[in-house]
């Protein structure tokens, strides 16, 4: 039954190509827009997910308090309130998996004929663990380098490219603010952080080296921040409590007094960004779906015209034995075929459009199989939903009146 | 009681109008036996079309009863009526009423689609019927490519494809020239004589009614005359697939 009816539906669509084309155009645009919007949305979500996992999971940062001199407060991280001993004490808390003390500042790097300005981070070997970061080549500096404040460095791929070019940087030497450092390792590329910084444009040196030799004047014995990784996502609250009370106690800050440090949940910030991206992509998809409704109304309109035009044909079919449900099925098949045709072309255009956006606008896009399936399912539903009323109208025609129709 | 193929008792139809119900057909009593060839005549407004619509199960009577092959069909639900139209009845119309987008063969096979006959059988049966009306070689043509007389022969093949008990023809020659009308009537007469197909045919023209063995005349919604006659003998008019000739009226 479906077979010959489907053939007739396609025949009917093929017999009026211009009308079929214009009617499906609404669906084409609607489905195409939905596909592109979902692709842009899920591309944004994916890049944020990647940034989060690149940043490291379940992270806090503990910032040193703000220094003030002559009434000018310099902002968090500038007062000499956090020490390596604080970091070691935090590391011993039960809900803490790893810590990494940090001092950092700008420095000028030189290798051969090249020079490059970047941020240099002083930290401990635990930093890689906290940041969920690996090495492309060589090794991380060890605890002995930290104890001896050795002039060794691990560099990011951007720095390697700027200073060493095609040359293998591991084992090479670079000058930081004039002093020579041996490059022990090359960090694996990490890409952009979710706030857009190039995370590979970095140099790591032992914390002690940074404190005593590199930024000696500003950080003698003190830290800018401590990165703290919790053992698990559901231990974050526990970690925050433990670290706060530990530091309050160590710094002898009584109740009512302002603490000389602050603690931030980085993962929460990132998750907020991810949630924002999710809402954005939902919003984009919702706006695009409005055009699907418009496309559906176009189909309904043309099906109503078609039922009127083919009243006599319906009369003939009923006279030779078509039941109302046969007539209804025939017109429903036609509207679903129309919608699916538009959907298929729309998916094609959507995929092409997404690819163009990726190439021309350099925005991360991701066309998922799910969104293509969804587009087809929605097209079919639009066909059934908007075809229902015209099909019912056709099925309810009285055969005598239909046969009399010219 | 004899097994009349069609029996109607006090069959009546009122049409609603602004001035109250208008009786198009007063109580009609009639029997038509299997194998009869009946011509129904009468001026327009005499009730003959209303009567045909009732016989064709296209309309429900206001009053009265109708047995088709022993089955009371006057008040069946819609789907059951559709099945009766499909299996028991064949229709031939004045305007041929072929589907213009479908091929001749597909037109002939259409009732089989609604009878849920498989594709292969549909094709075989459609070819068989087209052979009977001498149009095999136009099977894949569109109806608009063949002449009016040929289109009406296709419509006759379609009416017969599901082996109906009765073929109802409503002015089947009304759109055809006299020569082609002769051919169509000869085809009807042969189908009636050779295959015993029961025919009920509405016409204005006495020439056409002359082919029937029985003439029923309606007047003012009632039976005015019911007489048997010697039908015009079936001549040796052959069914040549004549050269395509445009029909006098093309129906979209």
Q: Where would I find the H helices in chain B?
A: 48-55, 78-87, 104-114, 119-132, 148-160, 178-195, 206-209
Inter-chain contact B59–A400, Cβ cutoff 8 Å?
A: yes
Question: B138: which DSSP letter?
Answer: G
Inter-chain contact B82–A318, Cβ cutoff 8 Å?
A: yes
| CA-derived radius of gyration, chain A | 33
Query: Which pLDDT value is given to residue A71?
Result: 61
Q: What angle do CA B220, B223, B228 make, to 5 degrees?
A: 140
Q: Residue ranges per domain, chain B?
A: 6-100+164-228
Inter-chain contact B83–A400, Cβ cutoff 8 Å?
A: no
Inter-chain contact B114–A319, Cβ cutoff 8 Å?
A: no
Q: Which of A321, A153, A81 is nearest to B159 (CA)?
A: A321
Inter-chain contact A321–B115, Cβ cutoff 8 Å?
A: yes
Q: Which of B143, B246, B245, B97 is nearest to A406 (CA)?
A: B97
Cβ-Cβ contacts under 8 Å, A325 against chain B: 79
Q: Which of B93, B97, B114 sits opposite A321 (nearest CB)?
A: B114
Cβ contacts from A onto B, under 8 A: 68
Read off φ and ψ for residue B38, nearest 5 degrees. -110, 130
Q: Does B114 touch chain A (CB under 8 A)?
A: yes
Q: What is the pLDDT of residues B68-119, one digit of tens each?
A: 998 999 889 999 999 999 999 999 999 899 999 899 999 999 999 999 999 9
- From CA B149, how far away is CA B67, in angstroms rounded? 33
Q: Which of B111, B251, B252 sits opposite A321 (nearest CB)?
A: B111
Q: Does A297 touch chain B (CB under 8 A)?
A: no
Inter-chain contact A4–B119, Cβ cutoff 8 Å?
A: yes
Q: What is the pLDDT along chain A (406 residues), one digit of tens a residue?
A: 778 888 888 888 888 889 999 999 999 999 999 899 888 888 888 887 777 777 777 888 898 876 555 666 666 556 678 888 899 899 899 999 989 999 988 899 999 889 899 999 999 998 998 888 889 999 999 999 999 999 999 999 999 999 998 889 999 999 998 899 999 999 998 877 766 778 899 999 999 999 888 887 666 678 888 999 998 888 888 999 999 999 998 988 888 888 888 888 887 777 788 788 888 888 888 888 888 888 999 999 999 999 999 999 999 999 999 999 999 999 999 999 999 999 999 999 999 999 999 888 878 888 888 888 988 898 999 999 999 999 999 999 988 888 887 6
CA A89 to chain centre: 35
The CATH label, of 3.40.190.10, 2.60.40.1290, 1.10.1060.10, 3.40.50.300, for the domain at B6-100+164-228 is: 3.40.50.300
Q: Which two tokens stand for residue A85?
A: 């001993």
Is A222 within 8 Å of A80 (Cβ atoms)?
yes
Q: What angle do CA B88, B94, B96 make, to 5 degrees?
A: 75
Q: Does B96 touch chain A (CB under 8 A)?
A: no
Cβ-Cβ contacts under 8 Å, B91 against chain A: 319-320
Inter-chain contact A319–B79, Cβ cutoff 8 Å?
A: no
Query: Which pLDDT value is given to residue B28?
Result: 93
- Look-up: residue for tokens 């068989």? B128
How much is the average pLDDT of B33-52? 92
Q: Which of B58, B97, B251 sits opposite A400 (nearest CB)?
A: B58
Minimum distance, in Å, between the CA of residue A310 and any CA atom of chain B: 9
Query: Which pLDDT value is given to residue A77?
Result: 58
Cβ-Cβ contacts under 8 Å, B78 against chain A: 323-324
Instruction: Confirm whether pTM is higher than 0.90.
Output: no
Cβ-Cβ contacts under 8 Å, A314 against chain B: none
Read off φ and ψ for residue B67, nearest 5 degrees. -110, 130
SS3 A195: coil
Question: Which residues contact residue B149 at a Cβ distance below 8 angstroms, ignoring those fewer than 6 apart?
Answer: B176, B180, B183, B184, B242, B245, B247
- From CA A336, how far away is CA A371, in angstroms rounded? 19
Query: Which pLDDT value is given to residue B236?
Result: 53
Q: What is the DSSP string of B183-252?
A: HHHHHHHHHHHHH--EEEEE-S-HHHHTTSSEEEEEETTEEEEEEE-PPPP--------PPP---SS---
| Candidates B15, B50, B58, partner chain A, best to mutate (most A CBs within 10 A) | B58
Query: Which pLDDT value is given to residue B44?
Result: 85
Q: Which of B110, B119, B251 sits opposite A320 (nearest CB)?
A: B110
Q: Does B83 touch chain A (CB under 8 A)?
A: yes
- From CA A231, how far away is CA A239, in angstroms rounded? 9
Is B57 within 8 Å of B81 (Cβ atoms)?
yes
Q: Which of B167, B204, B215, B190 is nearest to B45 (CA)?
A: B204
Inter-chain contact A321–B56, Cβ cutoff 8 Å?
A: no
């Amino acid at each position: 039954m479906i077979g010959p009816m489907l053939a007739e539906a396609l025949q009917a669509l093929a017999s009026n190509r211009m009308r079929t084309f214009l009617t499906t155009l609404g669906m084409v645009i609607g489905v195409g827009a939905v596909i592109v919007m979902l692709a842009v949305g899920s591309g944004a979500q994916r890049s944020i997910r990647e940034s989060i996992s690149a940043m490291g999971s379940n992270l806090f940062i503990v910032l040193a308090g703000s220094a003030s001199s002559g009434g000018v407060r310099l902002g968090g991280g500038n007062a000499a309130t956090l020490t390596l001993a604080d970091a070691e004490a935090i590391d011993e808390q039960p809900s803490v998996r790893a810590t990494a003390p940090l001092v950092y500042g700008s420095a000028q790097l030189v290798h051969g004929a090249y020079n490059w300005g970047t941020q240099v981070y002083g930290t401990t070997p635990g930093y890689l663990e906290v940041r969920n970061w690996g090495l492309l080549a060589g090794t991380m500096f060890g605890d002995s380098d930290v104890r001896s404040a050795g002039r060794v460095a691990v560099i990011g791929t951007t720095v390697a490219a700027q200073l060493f070019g095609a040359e293998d940087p591991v084992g090479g030497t670079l000058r930081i603010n004039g002093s020579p450092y041996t490059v022990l390792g090359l960090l694996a590329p990490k890409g952009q952080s979710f706030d857009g910084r190039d995370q590979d444009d970095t140099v790591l040196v032992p914390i002690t080296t940074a404190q005593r030799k590199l930024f000696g004047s500003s950080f003698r014995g003190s830290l800018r921040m401590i990165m703290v990784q919790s053992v698990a996502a559901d231990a974050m609250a526990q970690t925050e409590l433990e670290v706060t009370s530990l530091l309050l106690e160590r710094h002898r800050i009584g109740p009512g007094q302002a603490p000389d440090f602050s603690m931030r949940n980085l993962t929460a910030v990132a998750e907020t960004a991810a949630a924002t991206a999710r809402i954005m992509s939902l919003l984009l998809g919702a706006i695009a779906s409005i055009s699907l409704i418009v496309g559906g109304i176009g189909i309904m309109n043309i099906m109503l015209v078609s039922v009127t035009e083919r009243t006599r044909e319906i009369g003939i079919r009923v006279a030779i034995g078509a039941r109302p449900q046969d007539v209804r099925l025939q017109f429903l098949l036609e509207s679903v075929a129309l919608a699916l045709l538009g959907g298929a072309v729309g998916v094609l255009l959507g995929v092409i459009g997404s690819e163009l956006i990726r190439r021309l606008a350099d925005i991360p896009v991701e066309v998922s199989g799910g969104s293509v399936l969804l587009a087809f399912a929605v097209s079919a539903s639009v066909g059934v939903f908007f075809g229902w009323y015209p099909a019912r109208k056709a099925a309810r025609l009285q055969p005598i009146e239909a046969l009399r129709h010219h | 009681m004899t097994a009349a193929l069609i029996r109607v008792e006090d069959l009546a139809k009122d049409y609603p109008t602004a001035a109250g119900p208008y009786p198009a057909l007063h109580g009609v009593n009639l029997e038509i036996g299997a194998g009869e060839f009946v011509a129904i005549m009468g001026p327009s407004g005499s009730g003959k079309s209303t009567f045909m619509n009732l016989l064709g199960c296209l309309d429900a009577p206001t009053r009265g009863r109708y047995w088709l092959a022993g089955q009371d069909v006057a008040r069946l639900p819609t789907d059951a009526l559709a099945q009766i139209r499909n299996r028991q009845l064949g229709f031939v119309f004045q305007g041929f009423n072929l589907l213009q987008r479908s091929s001749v063969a597909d037109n002939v096979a259409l009732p089989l689609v609604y009878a849920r006959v498989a594709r292969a059988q549909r094709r075989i049966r459609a070819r068989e019927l087209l052979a009977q009306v001498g149009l095999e070689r136009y099977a894949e043509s569109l109806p608009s490519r063949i002449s009016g007389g040929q289109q009406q022969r296709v419509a006759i093949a379609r009416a017969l494809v599901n082996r109906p008990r009765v073929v109802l023809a409503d002015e089947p020659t009304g759109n055809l020239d006299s020569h082609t009308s002769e051919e169509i009537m000869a085809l009807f007469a042969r189908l009636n004589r050779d295959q015993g197909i029961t025919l009920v045919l509405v016409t204005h023209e006495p020439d056409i009614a002359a082919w029937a063995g029985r003439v029923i005349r309606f007047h003012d919604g009632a039976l005015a005359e019911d007489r048997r006659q010697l039908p015009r003998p079936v001549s040796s008019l052959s069914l040549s697939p004549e050269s395509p000739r445009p029909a006098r009226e093309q129906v979209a």
